[in-house]
Amino acid sequence: MTVTIADATLRQNLYEVIFDLLATDVATSTSPIYQYKLTAAYIQGSKPVFPQIVLNPVDVDRSEPTFGSGNYRKDIRVLIDIFTKKSKEKDIAADRIQALLDANAWDGVVLIGVTESNALETPGENEIHLKSVALSFLRR
């Protein structure tokens, strides 16, 4: 599938495209391990649902201006937080996200990096495990 991102609505387009990729994966997957709750913010409360994937707002930085033209390099970052009850589930979800990104062509942006980081966990004390996946895109 080819994904098209427009400059005028860069943040909105990219957020919607990534959200739709993840939501479609949940809707079409038959494996229970891929049945995560996809949200825009962490759902807390008396009975939170796990695994839970939070797609945070898109950040766009402008740098390296081309003088006289008004053009900038646009560095785009998307942070995805994965909350699970089992430690291995966060790695499975991160791998699944990477596979979904690799399976799509990006028209308008270039995926230049994927960085994963685990939250500090004290063995035996945490019931919730967190992994963050940072996606880096480039657009000129």
Considering the entire predicted model, what is its pTM?
0.83
| pLDDT over threshold 70, residue 12 | yes
Burial (0-12, 13-18, 19+ Cβ within 10 Å), 37: middle
pLDDT in tens, 81-138: 999 988 888 999 999 999 988 888 788 888 888 999 988 766 666 688 899 999 998 8
pLDDT of the residue at 3: 65
Q: Would you state the pLDDT for residue 123?
A: 67
State the CATH number of the domain containing residue 126.
3.30.2000.10
* Per-residue model confidence (pLDDT) at position 65: 67
Measure the CA angle with vertex 78, ends 72 and 80; round to 5°: 175
Where in the sequence is the domain holding 77, given as residue range(s)? 2-139
Give CA–CA dist 131/87, Å, rounded: 9
Give the pLDDT confidence of 23-77 residue by residue, as tens digits.
998 888 877 777 888 998 888 877 778 889 999 999 887 777 666 666 777 788 9
Number of independent structural domains in the chain: 1
pLDDT-derived band at 2 (thresholds 50, 70, 90) equals: low
